[in-house]
Chain A
Amino acid sequence: MQAPSKNPIRISWQALFSVLMFGFMYLPILVLGFYSFNQSPNSAQWGGFTLSWYVKFFNDSRILSALSDSLKVAFCAVGISAIIGTLMAVGLARYKFPGKQLYQGVSYLPLIIPDIAIAVSTLVFLAVIAVPLSLWTIVAAHTVFCLSYVAFVVSTRLVNLNPHLEEAAQDLGATPYQSLVMVLLPELMPAIVSGCLLAFVLSMDDFLISSFTAGGGATTLPMEIFSRIRTSVKPDINALSVVLMVTSGAVALIAETIRYRSEKKRLQ
């Protein structure tokens, strides 16, 4: 491999390879796009341009209701996680107590344990305590991993925070509650938002945990997609994927721009 060159536009083999890899990353997305406008649903040949899959998709009440279930789950789980995850991160950064390492270890577990194991254990637990499964059991299960991600991102920010800010606030007579809300919270906001965004994406994408904890009638979007791929009730799935990709791509771009700007501001 070559040492970094001073000339930025030199074509290296790494550049060529990277272009290839970018192609690899975008190939499936382009293919879905191609199929979503293709009249013949079953073949790779071009059968003419059509928008009918999109029309079909926007009239598909099952997909739309699955989408709304997914959004409900994601918003609730992320909302709860934003609060208790942030509290947890602050508490962990601030206090020393016996069993803290155990607590901390447990709080990172959802990032490490495979989804299938979390899904299985949650199902068993819910079965043992005989809680009827529903949309709310999905929310409860999603909150577990969402709060881990939020707490993790927030605690990264806490490490870099000026520890004297809060102290100063309290010296000036602020109660601990005031200093938390008025001083710490604004400082943590960018981290909370980006943690929530990450958790939101993961919650919207989760298939396994949802399908193990969902009650009958509660169907999230990934569950609906999975069932359609398995039973081959298609092809408006292609249209759905394009719509989803464009939306989430736009959200990702906006989020990254905001993050980039706020980082730049902080550095100045």
Chain B
Amino acid sequence: MSTKAPSAPAQVQTSSPQWLQALLLLAPAGIWLALLLVIPTLLIFQLSLVPDIKPGDIVNPSGLDNYLRIFQPDVLKVIGRSLLFAIGTTLLCLLMGFPVAYWIALLSPKRWRNLLLLAFVLPLWTSSLLRSYAWISILRPTGVLNTLLTSLHLPTLDLLNRSPAVLIGMTYSLLPYMVLILYASLEKLDRRFLEAAADLGATPPQAFWKVTVPQTLPGIAAGSLLVFITGLGDFINPELLGGTSSMTAARLIYNQFLGATQNWGFGSALSMVLILAVSLAIALLIKYGDKNASSL
């Protein structure tokens, strides 16, 4: 598919020079972004090359020690855990989100659709910290879930401060995004294809896999990407729900700056790795998405 920046409205005749107008429009945001986004990113890149640095030290790049430290087993484990959480959340969101989006977009009564979608994503408008906090109350050993299980004479579940709680919390926070994106692409689904498939004798599962899924693939990819990259950088859910056994990259970075063990260089290196991982995910998807789009 060919790519195009938003096409410019027809060029206008101007009284003041074009470049001045462009400058006036673009400079304020440009300066802001350069100052508070580009330069800072370059700074942490440089900082990531300084081993064992704390505030007050002189920054003199002297090697890749911080990056080498990332390859130590304990740090690799942390990165692997972050990846697993992100992938697990993506899969759960897809599994749970697709039927919901499908139902709202195609099966529910038409005039309810907007309202249903809004109702589903409404929890997004509330504080994410408070939502995680609510899960603490639910999953605690003496929380809502276990009180319920006990009253039903079922064995209790010990989920809080372990990986399951983190997965539940992350899935809960990101599911609405997945549903939004899937809904947008399911809504555009051309139903005539489905009808044609049925006319040609395709069973519903066949029609689903041969028509619905391929047609909504861009939505599936976009939703998965969003959930994956947001999940990869998530701090709140692992921190509040994860306990001792779920140190993730974001938590480790946080600790290098505002926690007990200060090491700004190592924290910067980890941040660079996180940025790299996210860019890689996007690049991979673009490559894959391009191929896919051109084959259509």
Contact = CB atoms under 8 A, between A and B. Distances in A.
A132 interface: no
A1 B125 contact: no
A4 B191 contact: yes
Interface stretch (B70-78, B100-108, B159-167): B100-108
Contacts of B12: 166-167, 170, 176, 179
Nearest to B109: A8
Contacts of B55: 127
Interface residues of B, number: 104
A249 B136 CA distance: 22
A182 B205 CA distance: 54
Contacts of B140: 44
Given A22-B120, A88-B29, A144-B37, A176 B172 contact: no
B130 A18 contact: no
Contacts of A253: 118, 122
Nearest to A235: B137
Interface in A10-48: 10, 12-15, 17-18, 21-22, 24-29, 31-32, 34-35, 43-45
B264 A3 contact: no
B9 A163 contact: yes
A219 interface: no
Contact of A116 (B14, B36, B135, B253): B253
Interface in B158-182: 172, 175-176
Contacts of A170: 12-13
Nearest to B117: A256
Nearest to B230: A114
Contacts of B147: 44-45
A100 B7 CA distance: 13
Contacts of A249: 122, 125-126
B123 A161 contact: no
A21 B5 CA distance: 38
Interface stretch (A55-63, A89-97, A188-196): A89-97
A245 B24 contact: no
A225 interface: yes
A87 B125 contact: no
A252 interface: yes
Contact of A1 (B16, B24, B208): B208
B29 A175 contact: no
Contacts of A83: 28
Nearest to B282: A112
Contact of A109 (B15, B37, B99, B114): B37
A118 interface: yes
Contact of B134 (A95, A144, A205, A241): A241
B18 interface: yes
Contacts of A14: 99-100, 102-103, 107
Given A115-B235, A141-B36, A225-B133, A29 B102 contact: no
A122 interface: yes
Tell me what chain B mostly uses at the interface: helix, strand, loop, or mixed: helix
Interface string B40-55: 1101100100000001
A151 interface: yes
A159 interface: yes
Contacts of A151: 29
B236 interface: yes
Nearest to B232: A114
Given A1-B102, A4-B107, A84-B28, A120 B253 contact: yes
A12 B233 CA distance: 37
Nearest to A260: B114
A25 B175 contact: yes
B22 interface: yes
A76 to B, nearest CB: 13
A130 B100 CA distance: 50
A166 B212 contact: no
14 contacts: A14-B100, A28-B135, A45-B147, A88-B29, A101-B5, A103-B30, A112-B279, A113-B41, A116-B233, A125-B36, A166-B9, A208-B235, A225-B133, A249-B126
Q: Closest 4 CB pairs between A and B?
A: A114-B233, A91-B25, A28-B134, A163-B9
Interface of B: 5-10, 12-16, 18, 21-22, 24-26, 28-30, 32-34, 36-41, 43-44, 47, 55, 96, 99-100, 102-104, 106-110, 114, 118-120, 122-123, 125-131, 133-138, 140, 142-144, 146-147, 172, 175-176, 191, 194-195, 197-198, 204-205, 207-208, 212, 229-230, 232-233, 235-236, 240, 250, 253-254, 257-258, 264, 267-268, 271-272, 274-275, 278-279, 282
Given A159-B7, A207-B129, A211-B258, 12 more contacts: A4-B106, A4-B107, A21-B100, A87-B28, A94-B25, A106-B34, A114-B250, A114-B274, A120-B257, A225-B133, A248-B126, A253-B122
